[in-house]
Amino acid sequence: MIRICLILFTNIIFLAPSIGQDEAALFVKEIYDHTLNKGQCDKWLSFLSDTIGGRLTGSENAKTAVNYTYGIMSDLPVLDKVWKQPCIVPKWIRGDAEEVTIAWSGGQKSSLDALSLGNSIGTGPAGIQGSVIEVHGLDTLKIMGPQLLKDKIVFFNRPMDPTRQSTGHAYGEAVDQRVHGAARASAEGAAAVLVRSVTLLQDDLPHTGVQSYVPGVKPIPSLAISTNAANKLSALLQDNKVTAHIKNNPQVLDSVHSHNVIGEIKGSEFPDEIILIGGHLDSWDVGGGAHDDGAGCVHALQVIQTLQDLGYRSRRTIRCVMFMNEENGLGGGKAYARASNAAGEYHLAAIESDSGGFTPRGFGCSAHPSVFKPFLANLQKFDEFLEPYDLYLKAGGGGADINPLKSQKGLLIGFKPDNSRYFDFHHTSADVMKNVNVRELRMGAAAITALVYLIDQNGL
């Protein structure tokens, strides 16, 4: 009975073409109350992360996740349309042998916690053996050249900078070693690379992640080792010649068909102005992809369910997208933009949540330079609604899956939760539900729903 009254009440408010400030503030409060009290996002995330598990692009688990989220959307009657959008994605499998053993003076040996990096080739059954040489950046490789690096195992050990205010920036500064290390070291004759895990935490967990080869340069095996292993190896190299024996057997297979999963509420007044909310459904194969990026997916689903449960009728078209293949190819994001451009669509705003399920801090945005200035000039109209929830909306942000939409000249928005702990779990076996705080996850969903609602009501 209470529920029915609520729906009638909110419909009365929002049949009017635009609303007053008090009503808007009231509805944002209702969004928070509903999400915190009755959110389902944690239930969905638990299933994605801990029941389905790691959802590497092209895997059976990824297919299961497509069907699972398609099923959730199909059960949300507020969505006028739910569909799977085809895309072509790479397929890489880890294999079952990942061993890094180091040996130093007097025949001493130790094994290191390691994970093959995404898209890495394997060593072959005999493995690869070589002297280890430590470097701290890509630029030094060219200076060292083949005379120092030929047949060596190059160990990239530049740590993340703990003094950066944003751990994301610190990650961005360190991750070049992981992404380009193998190709750059191979160009100087190296046999394989080991990369310090890109995290601020000092522990035994290796962090995987994508790495890229370069056409014309021989691909060589590439593995991450834990930060504890990296410190140990570095300490040994101070006084010893260290050799490493590496064995792994991942496989790069032919590309396969996969899908984005999309649900849409048609706008009642401006159906041609799309507001997108999304996360990426794929994850790395280790762990459950709970923060990266199951959280973003269930945030987006929760937006739809909350708006539905509150009886909200949107003025613009609201589209919820589970992107496939963010981690190692962006096949889903590119396919989405291609189809959207071909249909002549306009995304007024696209919001991506791909920074974890932590306490929301706000949103960062960007746009095509020709339109960004007027957008920026208008952002402060959202402050009065967001500030009571300690949220900001400011320049600087977007998302890997939504960036291909930039040519449509709408606003690209990245959801920014607290980033302290994100890289503690990122791309590891620890990215599972027990490391997600339910309240923080729901707070994120509420924040995004509030922004979707405000943009839907007021435009940009």
Q: Which residues sit at the interface with a second copy, rule CB under 8 A? A: 32-33, 36-37, 162-163, 165, 167, 200, 359, 361, 388-390, 418, 420-421, 424, 437, 439-440, 443
**Closer residue to a second copy, CB minimum distance, 50 or 418:** 418
**C-alpha to C-alpha distances, 130 to 144, 193, 266, 425, nearest whole angstrom:** 17, 10, 60, 31
Shortest separation between residue 460's beta carbon and a second copy, angstroms: 23
Nearer to a second copy, 163 or 238 (CB): 163
The nearer residue to a second copy, 218 or 361, going by C-beta atoms, is 361
CB of 326 to a second copy, least distance (A): 26
Nearest approach, Cβ of residue 442 and a second copy (Å) = 8
Beta bridge partners of 91: 253
CB nearer to a second copy: give 121 or 160. Answer: 160
* β 316-323/251-265 pair status: antiparallel
Please state the closest distance from residue 230 (CB atom) to a second copy, in A.
18
Of the pair 38, 338, the CB lying nearest a second copy is at: 38
Q: Respond yes or no on whether the N-terminal peptide bond of residue 239 is cis (omega within 30° of 0).
A: no
**Type of residue found at 389:** Y
Residue whose CB is less far from a second copy, 139 or 390: 390
Instruction: Write down the least CB distance from residue 93 to a second copy, Å.
Output: 34
How near is the Cβ of 402 to a second copy at its closest, in Å?
23
